[in-house]
Amino acid sequence: MTYFGIDIADFSWTCLRDFDFTSLCSQTSIIDILKLLFMGVFYTSLLISLIKGSSACGSNRKNWVFLVVSICCALISVAHFSKGLRLRNQQSWLGCIFRAFVWLSFTVSLHVQRNKWIKILNTIWWTSSCVLASALNIEIMFKEYTIELFEILQWLVHFLLLFCSFQNLGYFVTSQTKPEDTASLSEPLIAQKVETTQTQLGRATLLSKLTFSWVNSLLRLGYSKPLGLVDIPFLLPEDEANLAYQAFMHAWESLVRETSNNNSKNLVLWSVARTFYKENILIALYALLRSICLIISPLILYAFVNYTNTTEGDLKQGFSILGVMVLSKVVESLCQRHCGFGSRRSGMKIRSALMVAVYQKLLKLSSSARTRHSTGEVVNYIAVDAYRLGEFPWWFHIAWTSAVQLVLSIIVLFSIVGAGALPGLVPLLICGLLNVPFAKIIHSCQSQFMMAQDERLRSTSEILNSMKIIKLQSWEDKFKNLVLSLRAKEFKWLTKIQIIKASGSFLYWINPVVVSTVVFLGCALFKSVPLNAETIFTVIATLRMMAEPVRMIPEALSIMIQVKVSFDRLNTFLLDEELTTVNGYGRNIKQSSVNAVEIQEGNFIWDHESVSPTLREVKLEIKWGQKIAVCGPVGAGKSSLLYAVLGEIPKISGTVHVGGTIAYVSQTSWIQSGTVRDNILFGKPMNKTRYENAIKVCALEMDINDFSHGDLTEIGQRGINMSGGQRQRIQLARAVYNDADIYLLDDPFSAVDAQTAAILFHDCVMTALREKTVILVTHQVEFLTEVDTILVMEDGKVTQSGSYEDLQSAGTAFEQLVSAHKAALTGLDKKYENSSDSGIEFLVHPEESQSFNLTKSQSEQVISTKGQLGAQLTQEEEKVTGDVGWKQFWEYISFSRSSFLFCLTMLAEFAFMALQTASSYWLALAFEIPKVTSGILIGVYASFSFLSAIFIYIRSFLAAHLGLKASEVFFSSFTSAIFNAPMLFFDSTPVGRILTRASSDLSILDIDIPYSLTMVSFIAAEILVTICVIVSITWQVLIVAVPATVASIYIQGYYQASSRELMRINGTTKAPVMNFAAETSLGVVTIRAFNMVNRFFNNYLKLVDMDAAVFFHANVATEWSILRIEILQNLTVFTAAALLILLPRGSVSSGLVGLSLSYALTLKESQVFWSRMYSMLSDHIISAERIKQFIHIPSEPPAIVEDNRPSSSWPSKGRIDLRALEIRYRPNAQLVLKGINCTFLEGSRVGVVGRTGSGKTTLISALFRLVEPSRGDILIDGINICLMGLKDLRTKLSIIPQEPTLFKGSIRTNLDPLGFYEDDEIWKALEKCQLKDTVGKLPGLLDSSVSDEGGNWSLGQRQLFCLGRVLLKRNRILVLDEATASIDSATDAILQQVIRQEFAECTVITVAHRVPTVIDSDMVMVLSYGKLVEYDEPSKLMGTNSWFSNLVAEYWSSCRKNSSPISIMKMECK
């Protein structure tokens, strides 16, 4: 490069003799002097630090940017040195050597920063060099000299040095920390973070708030290490859920008071509007400013093209236009970012308020309302509707600003082309009107889609909660097909939505083409303005501004329609019936009451549509300290009586008064996910003495000792990894520890053996609760002699009441119950009579037997079948960390087998881009072709544009199908994986985790990932084309564009490191919210009974705030990155504009100026949109990642093994051989069954007994292969069942499980899910299981409804339905696993008789706690600690001092002890 004949390669001191500051040579000399000065200071400082021996500052490991820049500096140094050697005989060689030394010094400085002073010096040096080099080069361009390529390359490296200086200051990377510092500091900081860290927003300065710099510390931490939940700061108090909820409820209550019953106004919508309107006014102001700045862009373009058309350009005028552009773009960026941040923040508060409102309503919901809103639906209100309404502010502001932007664009269009714009309004109006039917169709499809999704999720939730019975009955295919059929309905609507959206994208792209073509024709016809560069490119730029609102308005309307549906659903839920309460929990507490419980003339009903009340004419007075027993046949209303005391059952008439606090033990145990200790304490502070006493009296000491983690052992969801007895005793311990005034115990002894029941009754009910008022519902007649009053119920009425002796003399209903019990005892007597004298003596005087006392102490010792694992059963949710990379995106495409489809989509995109670019170049160059008329100009442009629109439709259509195919493949694989998963997976995985993947993650997979993936690909291509177009006109823009793009990519990566972890954490914070709500829904009666509503509410608030904090910081991080990327891309736009001003007049045609600027103005939006889409895609792909985690879970053995299929008549005999059977639940865990060897002969009745947790249920699980033997074999009729398919095995076995399970549907579908049997057969089965009369009274008969989980039937009735199932199947092997635990003795005796008759030739295995149930078995198996201790005929075992005889003795002793001599004599006389 030459300046006035002086070569700047000369060593520039010669220019100082004739110094002139305006001379480029003199300026170069000054720069050389400054370089020399910096080098001198640098090497001096380096020498001093070496002499002092100071340690290196920070880590010696440099990042890749420093390495790349140092290599570039070294190469430039080598180039200068080579040039110097080549010119060594000329004067300029010294200048080359000097510059070589300067660039070598830069290389050294990048690698040597021994202390912070050198670091600061280097930062100043690199920054100064870049500024001086830039100033010199810009002046050269002003004076219209040429710049050599080598000089441009040096300038680019100067920009890289500037970037390194920013890194030195810590703007883009984390400060380096020594490993030893990390080791000493990280733990305390992490420990304190949970308690003390709050978001920096509250302490941020105005500038920090403006630029989102207050989040720097979190991003810096996220860049240095993967973020964890403890790293996320708390929200500000003003953003917390409680404050938002209180404000919402204030508005809600006010509106409820103002609104009449007939008013159809949506109260949720208006409450949200009243609560959050103030903050949204400021957001609206930002949005309006942004729209105004955006619409100025076409006018700036018009001014620029006009300016370049002038022959002598005034630089002042040019830079004035540039100044307006800079100001408008800066204001636009700031307003847009703060509008987005404010909208998301406001949406977060709305979401939190509604989530909390739904949860609070759940805690107050009446029993009838709970039947209308299943657990799955309530979870959906939170997971789908509340989250969708969190997006409401964002889309609301998008909707109205799009309308404003559209109007302003039309005004600008008229100002540019005048009357020529009028014809363009017609297609614009048509396209706008076409959006209306589109919106209606999408609304209809969206509503149907959401309804189908609700139905699928409800069924999925129910199936997951009942997976054990599904596997036992081998119903996986039936229920899998049910889920797939429900998904097919959902998928049908999803397909329609996606195809309609693809058509909408065609409408979006064809709209500007048609409108611009018509406007150009209007200009040509009306001759309102000439069709020159400024007109054409301004019109195109304006129409581009109009295209966004035209596209966004229907999308916003679609979202707003979804929002309206969600508002309506939440409005219906929040207005539903609550408990009619006095104290807020359904019962009237009178502390001064003489009676503990008092019911006067009470009539209660569950279903208001029912003909007769559930409970009739209840009159009840219970004194303080009394022990009341409630007994009666199945379905008599015993549990309903407890619900009446709790205030849970709707009252028709009468009064209920409760005199104190209540503790409640439900018939179906409700256990929370958490530790054993948490479940017992139930939110109360730890009192060690009371806690240990509660454990002792509930016979839990040995259980807890056997658990690998003691009382800190994690209980799986719904207590799934505990035996039924353990769950029931934990429930009882919770009640005892609560130290309430009144105890309501709903059949707490049904799930434990006779001796444990006796211990619980005497040690817990009669001793620990001796001063308490207890109402005990029980089928154990043997305990009735010790209570103060017995209530006998029949058909919803208290038919008898009094002491045991009084009721015995009265006869009737109570007599029938006792008779059945006595009959069982008589059977035992007969067995004893056949025993030896020593046996009789032992039985008559058991308390004197040392052996018995030993057994009693052992009765407290039980083994934990699943708690002995080395690790906790329910593990923390797995979360992948680190960079997602492109691998995950490609795996999404390859897993769905859509690679070819993706390639076709990209080809369509490239064709579209090529045609779009061709149409733009045609407009720019056509003016220079003399023979091109307006008609040809418009015709060629329209042809290119129409063709491009067709390709965009093809692209959208292919992209929609790609997404649909991926959804189909992922869902089918996920569903198959879940149904094929072993039972241990469901034992250790909370249902909430699976449901989150089946709901929100799948929703993202359905809609968001296909859109994000295609947009990222398309916009990347668009950015590349845009830069190429700009560079083709003003190549000098590369000087800024390349560093800006590199910096943008770096910022994107820097931000993404934190963003992806925030989204992963968000995936794990959302599931606990749903899980907690689901658990609350199932246990709300217990929560209200214990008066724990406030505690659960506060815990839920914490979970919501935790979820919101992650969401909040993820959003602010996004705005942080986009603002900085916008600034960098705006620099490229400003540079392009400045170059167009500085270029000599006429060097670039006005058409190319218009083309360059029109593309430059879209660059920022494209880059920002790409950054946002890429961030969204990286976040969304985590949902695919989470679903794939469950797709790849190990599956259980195959359903059918073709080479080992048994014959259709198998098993023909029913003989079962257990050979050295060993069972463990996980590899390396303790054995649960230890070398069992025995044979169950064909057609025999085998009773399996043992203490609670001895391994009885595990034996049944092994028989059905819910858990695979770790060693040994099980043979049925000589065939090893471990070699055959699970379906072949399980369909040939029948079971009545310990926990009776019904599904939502009808009685018919519950008895015969597979539809194999005729109605006559079903009625016969109902008759045999004592349900024919009950079902016959129902109006729907076999089609009568069964609510979620059989909630509208008593537990006993549910067990009878399960008996009905096996009566229909009639397999050769029947297993009864505590099948009659929840029914009275009379019904039990009848059913045992039915089973004996119906399954006379079958092998019947009975697991029971009631000794009479197994006493007439052919063989008895006794298990203890997982070992087979006895296996023989009952009569032989009772003739010796055996384990079984001890068990019988305990039962007999308990019955004799609890039966008065008078009652026994009366019974014997009768």
pLDDT in tens, 1406-1450: 887 666 667 778 888 888 878 888 888 888 877 777 777 777 776
- CA-to-CA separations, 1133 to 295, 331, 761, 1037, in angstroms, rounded: 16, 15, 83, 9
Q: Which helix (H) or strand (E) holds 793?
A: strand 789-794
Structure tokens at 1304: 């939502």
**What is the 8-class DSSP label of residue 77?**
H
Before 1211, cis peptide (omega within 30)?
Answer: yes
- Separation of alpha carbons 792 and 798, rounded Å: 6
In sequence order, the β-bridge partners of residue 675 are 714
Residue whose tokens read 């993820």: 1114
Structure tokens at 320: 């004035």
pLDDT at 818: 64
Structure tokens at 859: 């009765």
Of the candidates 1235, 1248, 1247, 1238, which has an alpha carbon nearest to the alpha carbon of residue 1215?
1238
- Separation of alpha carbons 1139 and 1128, rounded Å: 17
- Separation of alpha carbons 512 and 504, rounded Å: 13
Are β-strands 1245-1250 and 1419-1424 bridged in parallel, bridged antiparallel, or unpaired? parallel
1443-1457 vs 837-844: helix axis angle to the nearest 10? 40
Encoded amino acid at 1231, one letter: L
Structure tokens at 15: 């220019």
- Separation of alpha carbons 835 and 255, rounded Å: 78
- CA-to-CA separations, 1167 to 171, 1026, 1050, 1181, in angstroms, rounded: 21, 10, 14, 20
Question: Which pTM does this prediction carry?
Answer: 0.68
pLDDT at 210: 86
Q: Which helix (H) or strand (E) holds 802?
A: strand 797-802
Of the candidates 1404, 1389, 1385, 1328, which has an alpha carbon nearest to the alpha carbon of residue 1360?
1328
Helices (H) and strands (E) in the chain, counts: 50, 26
CA 1310 to chain centre: 31
- Separation of alpha carbons 218 and 1058, rounded Å: 8
Q: Is the dihedral of CA 1365, 1367, 1369, 1371 positive or negative?
A: positive
**Terminal-residue alpha carbon distance, the chain:** 127
Rounded-to-10 torsion of CA 1229, 1234, 1239, 1242: -30
Q: Are 814 and 792 in contact (CB under 8 A)?
A: yes
Are β-strands 1403-1407 and 1373-1377 bridged in parallel, bridged antiparallel, or unpaired? parallel
Of the candidates 465, 466, 467, 460, which has an alpha carbon nearest to the alpha carbon of residue 482?
460
pLDDT at 846: 32
Residue whose tokens read 């209606």: 440
Q: Which residues of the chain have pLDDT under 50?
A: 1-13, 16, 19, 54-61, 171-196, 582-586, 592, 828, 831-870, 873, 879, 881-882, 1458-1470
- Separation of alpha carbons 1354 and 569, rounded Å: 30
